[in-house]
Amino acid sequence: MTVSDLFQIGVSGARSYQAAMGAVSNNIANTDTPGYSRRTIEVKESPSGAGTTIWYRSGIAYGGAMIGQVMRASDPYLDSAARHTGNALGSVDQRARWMNDIQTALNDGTLGVGQRMTAMFSAVERLASNPTDTTLRADVLFSFEQINTAFKQSHGDLVAIRDSIGQAATSDVAALNDALQQLATANEGLRRSQEGTSAHVSLLDSRDQALFEITKRLNVTIEFGANDVANVKYGSETLVENVSATQIFVSQDADGLLHFQAGDAGPTGTAIADPAGGSLGGLTSSAKITKERIEAVNDLAAEYVEVINDWHMQGQTADGTPGAAMLSIGADAASLEVLITDPAGVAGASASGAINGNLLAITAIRGSGSVEDKWLSLISTHGNLVSATFAEQTAASNRDQMAQAARADVSGVNLDREAADLLRLQQAYQACARVIQVAREITDSLFAIF
């Protein structure tokens, strides 16, 4: 081994370990960067070669160390598991959010339809005990106004939820399209980049982050091809193929249901199936349930009007006038109105002449199968759905956290590990510097002889 070999070993080693320390520094700087995977620099032995000296003596020329590939820490199985759990969590998160909002809109509190109905029956019972009291008659009319207000409030809140779901779907589709385009861009770069380079590794990070954003929103099928390119399909529709991305569009009909198209938002677009997973799947499911709840509120409001009017028109006012319709409704619960404003118009007497006979007869419209009972059933049914959804959300969140943690153990940045690696590489760098110093001292000693 010659002095020049020592210089080569020291210089090449210092250069290689400097690059390796740069990778560690980059890891530390990107600890919290979404989608970033830990990098390491492969340092390997440089091939040695045969050579001759100026005295024509054969020997070996030592090459020292050289920089190999940029290594990216990843596990395809763990990446796939994290995407799968993220898809499930994205769906249930949306459903939990909107189901909870619907429960609030239905309102099982003192201002809700159920308790307002109970208050109305109590007001009628009080009037039955003193049917000539004008104040109690006014209370009965006011109780109907309160029921109407409760119906209108629930209906209005549900309509607002329906519209908000449409807006959320539009926003989510825009984010999905951005991710699809990001994947196509990453694919284009992967086709041109050389494997093992820093650029190639960065493109793999972009690819995987785009895939995570896509699967978080939509249940897609992923296929990996040459040069680590990822292609994405949804059903029979190809969303990303190499460098080409197909846009998704969403529309909401008058009932609040969501409809999806690929390629174009107009008549030339291709209708695609409703998403079954991801946040868009959760929004689609929530839109359907919101529609059902609005219809249920409207149906109960219409039945409430019919039942109350039938009851009231069977009675008579104090002067013997047949009872008139108490309520009216148009297309939905938002149009509920109380038609009688004069307390004297309350038909408390029965057709037989009993002054409080019709008031007492109101008990016939309570109990099993009544509007009051159906409202309580609606509240109970939705409450059970909310509880089940929250339980599913907790389980999905736990699974996702475990999957993300397992993935992070492999590809994530651990500062303790990086600190240990940095110390090791610094010591190796210092050793290379010492080799250079020794080579220089030997050279100086040789020159000093002459």
Confidence check: pLDDT of 42 > 80: no
Helices (H) and strands (E) in the chain, counts: 9, 13
pLDDT digits 0-9 by tens, 231-253:
999 998 999 999 999 999 999 99
Reading the block at residue 365, the tokens are 């419209």
Q: How confident is the model at residue 299 (pLDDT cuts 50, 70, 90)?
A: very high
Residues 6+ apart with CB under 8 A from 386: 96, 99, 100, 103
- For residue 276, what pLDDT is reported? 93
Higher pLDDT, 387 or 38: 387
Tell me: pLDDT of 137 over 70: yes
Is the pLDDT confidence value at 204 over 90? yes
First to last CA, the chain: 22
Residue 301: the pLDDT is 97
Rounded to an integer, what distance in angstroms lies between the CA atom of residue 125 and that of residue 260?
Answer: 53
Domain ranges of the chain: 3-73+412-449, 81-401
Query: Cα–Cα distance between 374 and 365 in angstroms, integer?
Result: 12
Q: Considering the entire predicted model, what is its pTM?
A: 0.86
pLDDT recorded at residue 29:
84
Of 196 and 90, the structure prediction assigns the larger pLDDT to 90
**What integer is the mean pLDDT of 122-127?**
96
* pLDDT tens column, 336-384: 999 999 999 999 999 888 999 999 999 999 989 999 999 999 999 999 9
Residue 361: exposure state from Cβ atoms within 10 A (0-12, 13-18, ≥19): middle
pLDDT, tens digit, for every residue of 239-294?
A: 999 999 999 999 999 999 999 999 876 667 889 999 999 999 999 999 999 999 99
* Single-letter code of the amino acid located at 123: A
pLDDT tens-place string over residues 102-114: 999 999 899 999 9
**What pLDDT, on a 0 to 100 scale, did the predictor assign at position 56?**
47
**Confidence category of residue 399, pLDDT binned at 50, 70, 90:** very high
Categorize the per-residue pLDDT at 62 as very low, low, confident or very high, splitting at 50, 70 and 90.
Answer: low
- The CA–CA distances, whole Å, from 418 to 61, 110, 204, 205 equal 34, 59, 21, 19
pLDDT at 196: 83
Model pLDDT for residues 13-40, shown as the tens digit of each residue: 777 777 778 788 888 888 888 888 888 8
Sign of CA dihedral 318, 319, 320, 325: negative
- Per residue in 146-190, pLDDT (tens digit) is 999 999 999 999 999 999 999 999 999 999 999 999 999 999 999
Phi, psi of 52 (to 5 degrees): -125, 150
- Detail the DSSP E strand segments found in 73-190: none
- What does the alpha-carbon distance between residue 321 and residue 348 come to, in Å, rounded to a whole number? 11
Pairing relation of β-strands 337-338 and 327-328? antiparallel
